[in-house]
């Protein structure tokens, strides 16, 4: 997708992240890459990051893909990545493999890569294996050769968590910088621990919808609760009194419960 956000907005985000790019150490290990830098907590580092996380078109696409499998979606990761010169290609992988779950039937996440600098085949643009998603994630080998996701700031690359991909080799003299924003099913443990990344005193500065994306909302039935209630109660400060648990059921469960209670009343 091209021209998803103005280049000026992406440039402002890049400026806000410049100190973190400069001071963050290179990774340790062959997967993260020892010539690659990564850091998260983007919503706490720049006021411009929320435009990426809550882009209405992106959210609409993500919700359309993931809604059949969950009550609500959540932010899985908001991470900046800088692939430096001489960085080798990253191991091709599928991000849904972080969860030991059945493959080929359910989509667990959607990723969006936003370039902060131009992505090219020479500077380590993300490599995508077309047709490697969904049921084809079960194939022993991908049917097609990878393609480099060459794009400019303002563009966005969307791909499923079942898609085989990996950062390309950087044979240029330039640092390739980008941001990955990922969304997953709300009942999964996210890649980035959102409540540590954005504790209540930080999340209180967010809009209610953004706070919900980072975990301050229950996933029915009752997942992610705080003292039996929606964790959004913490956005108004620490409760002064003990809290009582409140049902947060799916509609089908609520209907079943009401029928059960009605039967109990009739027989009592």
Mean pLDDT estimate for the chain: 96
Is the peptide bond prior to 221 cis by the omega test (within 30 degrees of 0)?
yes
Comparing CA positions, the residue from 100, 99, 126 lying closest to residue 114 is: 126
Q: Quick one: pLDDT band at residue 83, thresholds 50, 70, 90? A: very high
In what helix (H) or strand (E) does residue 119 lie, and over which residues does it extend? Answer: none
CA distance 190 to 6: 29
CA distance 91 to 261: 54
Give the other-Cβ count within 10 Å of 18's Cβ: 12
Per DSSP (E only), the strands in the chain are: 36-39, 73-83, 109-115, 126-128, 147-148, 157-160, 165-167, 176-185
Model confidence pLDDT, tens digit, residues 139-194? 999 999 999 999 999 999 999 999 999 999 999 999 999 999 999 999 999 999 99
- The residue-averaged pLDDT of 236-256 equals 93
User: Hunting for tokens 């972080």 — which residue is that?
Assistant: 98
Q: Quick one: pLDDT band at residue 209, thresholds 50, 70, 90? A: very high
Provide φ and ψ at 173, rounded to 5°.
-100, 5
Q: Are 109 and 76 in contact (CB under 8 A)?
A: yes
Tokens of 102: 């059945």
- The residue-averaged pLDDT of 98-106 equals 94
CA distance 72 to 224: 12
Q: Quick one: pLDDT band at residue 268, thresholds 50, 70, 90? A: confident
Give the other-Cβ count within 10 Å of 145's Cβ: 8
Model confidence pLDDT, tens digit, residues 5-45? 999 999 999 999 999 999 999 999 999 999 999 999 999 99
> What three-state secondary structure class fits 22?
helix
Share of the chain above pLDDT 70, in %: 100
- The residue-averaged pLDDT of 102-124 equals 97
CA distance 109 to 163: 10
Tokens of 149: 């996701």
Q: Taking phi first (over 0 means left), then psi (-120 to 50 degrees means alpha), and beta for anything else, what does residue 156 get?
A: beta
Q: What pTM, to 2 d.p., does this model score?
A: 0.94
Is the predicted pLDDT of residue 1 greater than 90, yes or no? Answer: no
């Amino acid at each position: 997708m091209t021209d998803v956000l103005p280049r000026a907005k992406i440039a402002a985000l890049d400026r806000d992240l410049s100190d973190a790019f400069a001071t963050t150490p290179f990774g340790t290990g062959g997967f993260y890459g020892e010539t690659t830098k990564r850091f998260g907590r983007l919503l706490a580092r720049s006021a411009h990051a929320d435009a990426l996380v809550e882009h209405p078109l992106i959210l609409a696409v993500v919700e359309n893909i993931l809604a059949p499998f969950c009550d609500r979606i959540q932010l899985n990761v908001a991470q900046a990545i800088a692939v430096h010169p001489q960085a080798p290609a990253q191991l091709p992988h599928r991000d849904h493999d972080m969860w030991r779950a059945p493959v080929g039937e359910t989509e667990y996440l959607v990723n969006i890569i936003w370039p902060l600098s131009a992505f090219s085949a020479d500077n380590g643009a993300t490599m995508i294996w077309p047709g490697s998603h969904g049921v084809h994630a079960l194939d022993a080998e991908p049917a097609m050769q990878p393609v480099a996701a060459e794009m400019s700031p303002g563009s966005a690359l969307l791909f499923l968590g079942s898609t085989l991909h990996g950062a390309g080799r950087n044979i240029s003299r330039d640092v390739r910088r980008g941001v990955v924003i990922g969304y997953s099913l709300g009942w999964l443990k996210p890649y980035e621990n959102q409540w540590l990344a954005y504790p209540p005193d930080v999340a209180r500065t967010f809009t209610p919808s953004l706070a919900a994306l980072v975990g301050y909302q229950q996933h029915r039935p009752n997942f992610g609760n705080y003292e039996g209630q929606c964790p959004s109660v913490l956005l108004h400060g620490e409760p002064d009194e003990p809290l009582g648990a409140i049902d947060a059921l799916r509609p089908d469960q609520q209907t079943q419960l009401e029928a059960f209670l009605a039967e109990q009343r009739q027989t009592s």
